[in-house]
């Protein structure tokens, strides 16, 4: 499966034929309708390529790509972890791609501007690739790692790449000097889900993606690296030991992340398909949030299940930046189950700030239902637990930055067993509400 075949099979795609400017317009237009994929067919100064976004901008789109229902996403992701599948080798060759050595990047594709910021009488509008996945090899075991990293463009073939202390950071730390990597852009969105997942260091994310794709992923070779066949754009190069400024960047919280020094990535070779589809994410918007937050849900679910075996589902909420807030659905058997589930969820995703625990009749992915449960089933003085001076996420602009500490909280929005009968908290339903459909009566 490829990005092109995914788009061909999509039920509804926004196709934009009017010419768009690479600076600011694609991101602004893609954000106006995030319910379906969008393809820009006419990019000023780049007549031979297309821009694509919103492939994973809703749970419905993600569920469709996985071939499951909306409330079954977590379980599809969890099952794929248990059954990693080795990928087949493809007949596709890198020799079939356009090849450019030491490329002047903007001669070949646009690097988009998304936001601008006025800072001390200076307007900053950095250009970013926010949709790149890095393929790197661990020098100790030769296992490939796949992970998302934003890259700020500087000039010609140079970017600064944001590397947080996770797997790629550890791999780079094991190598003296430069780290050879391959960067891919424009693949089936299930590969992107795998690349956004935090697995163990010895997990091959392509095998995870292959499981999500039911064995349909084939890999091709590029100088010893194995990457998905039919990838739209490939950059081979090195993450150097030199550093330069990176930022400002709008992150998941839709607030400005600070500027920092980060490694320089130099592109040695650029490979592109004929008339390529250039993938882009809009920072801070739905797609960015889903790809960051949704892959954390299986890990939280498994951690909660160790403590509360009757856990039913877990959702990282979009309103909580798809990183800082979550909802856990349980079948409550005893008082205290909800608070235990909340503590386990915080341990499963240490960046989380708030956990709301609901009963099995509440859909954790629907904010209005979660708020209804909070309004009708809890009292703040009894059902909120605060954990003070805990380490959280740097994405929370309200935290104590000097000490990097915050207060986390658990909201028990489950039906209280004490004092009242559970029937008093049941939500009334209309007769035949689940049996008949208005469309059948038109």
Q: Structural domain boundaries of the chain?
A: 1-54, 85-275, 292-425
Q: How far apart are CA 1 and CA 216, in angstroms?
A: 6
Q: Which two tokens stand for residue 229?
A: 């066949």
SS3 227: strand
CA atoms of 67 and 76, how far apart (whole Å): 9
- The C-alpha torsion from 220 through 288 and 172 to 126, rounded to 10°, is 110
- 257/251 Cα distance (integer angstroms): 6
pLDDT at 62 (0 to 100) = 93
Cβ contacts of residue 336 below 8 Å, gap of 6+? none
Q: CA separation (Å) from 211 to 42, 57, 86, 193, 285? A: 35, 22, 9, 12, 27
In the residue annotation, 412 being an active-site residue is answered as: no
Block mean pLDDT (10 aa), the chain, length 442? 87 93 94 94 95 93 92 91 91 93 96 87 86 92 91 95 89 92 96 88 90 94 94 97 93 87 96 95 92 90 95 93 94 94 95 96 94 95 94 81 85 87 80 81 78
Position 442 scores a pLDDT of 73
Q: How far is CA 191 from CA 177, 207, 384, 410, in A?
A: 29, 10, 39, 33
User: Options 2.60.120.380, 2.40.50.140, 2.30.110.10, 3.30.470.20; which CATH number does 85-275 get?
Assistant: 2.30.110.10
pLDDT reported for residue 188: 94
- Determine the Cα–Cα distance for residues 199 and 359; give it in Å rounded to an integer: 29
Identify whether the C-beta of residue 419 lies closer than 8 Å to the C-beta of residue 395: no
* CATH code given to domain 292-425: 3.40.1670.10
328/109 Cα distance (integer angstroms): 43
Looking at the chain, the number of H-run helices and the number of E-run strands are 12, 26
What pTM did the predictor assign? 0.88
Nearest C-alpha neighbor of 146 from the set 199, 97, 221, 93: 199
**Are the C-beta atoms of residues 159 and 152 closer than 8 Å to each other?**
yes
As a whole number of angstroms, the distance between CA 276 and CA 186 comes to 9
Name the active-site residue from 251, 257, 359, 383: 251
Could you give the CA distance from residue 340 to residue 330 in angstroms, rounded to a whole number?
11
């Amino acid at each position: 499966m490829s990005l092109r075949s995914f788009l061909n099979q999509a039920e509804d795609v926004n196709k934009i034929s009017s010419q768009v400017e690479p600076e600011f317009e694609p991101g602004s237009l893609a954000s106006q309708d995030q319910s379906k994929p969008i393809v820009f067919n006419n990019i000023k100064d780049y007549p031979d390529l297309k821009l694509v976004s919103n492939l994973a901008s809703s749970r419905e789109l993600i569920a469709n790509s996985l071939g499951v229902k909306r409330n079954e996403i977590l379980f599809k992701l969890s099952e794929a972890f248990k059954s990693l599948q080795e990928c087949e080798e493809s007949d596709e060759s890198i020799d079939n791609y356009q090849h450019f050595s030491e490329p002047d990047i903007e001669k070949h594709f646009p690097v988009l501007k998304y936001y601008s910021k006025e800072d001390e009488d200076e307007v900053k509008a950095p250009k970013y690739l926010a949709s790149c996945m890095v393929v790197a090899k661990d020098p100790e075991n030769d296992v490939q790692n796949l992970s998302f990293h934003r890259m700020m463009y500087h000039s010609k073939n140079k970017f600064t790449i944001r590397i947080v202390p996770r797997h790629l950071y550890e791999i780079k730390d094991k190598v003296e000097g430069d780290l050879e990597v391959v960067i891919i852009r424009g693949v089936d969105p299930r590969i992107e889900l795998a690349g956004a997942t935090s697995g163990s260091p010895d997990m091959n994310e392509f095998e995870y993606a292959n499981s999500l794709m039911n064995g349909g992923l084939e890999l091709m070779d590029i100088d010893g690296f194995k990457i998905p066949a039919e990838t739209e754009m490939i950059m081979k190069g090195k993450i150097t030991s030199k550093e330069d400024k990176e930022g400002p960047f709008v992150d998941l919280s839709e607030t400005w992340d600070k500027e920092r020094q980060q490694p320089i990535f130099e592109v040695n070779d650029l490979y592109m398909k004929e008339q390529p589809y250039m993938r882009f994410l809009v920072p801070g918007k739905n797609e960015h949030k889903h790809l960051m937050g949704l892959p954390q849900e299986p890990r939280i679910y498994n951690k909660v299940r160790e403590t509360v075996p009757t856990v039913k589902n877990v959702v990282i909420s979009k309103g909580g930046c798809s990183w800082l807030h979550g909802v856990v659905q349980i079948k409550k058997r005893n008082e205290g189950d909800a608070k235990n589930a909340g503590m386990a969820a915080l341990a499963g995703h240490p960046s989380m700030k708030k956990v709301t625990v609901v009963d099995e009749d509440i859909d954790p992915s629907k904010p209005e239902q979660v708020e209804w449960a909070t309004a009708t089933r809890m009292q703040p003085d009894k059902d909120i637990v605060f954990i003070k001076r805990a380490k959280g996420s740097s994405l929370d602009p309200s935290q104590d930055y000097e000490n990097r500490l915050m207060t986390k909280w658990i909201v028990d929005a489950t039906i209280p067993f004490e004092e009242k009968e559970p029937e008093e908290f049941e939500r009334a339903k209309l007769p035949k509400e689940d049996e008949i459909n208005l469309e059948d009566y038109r």
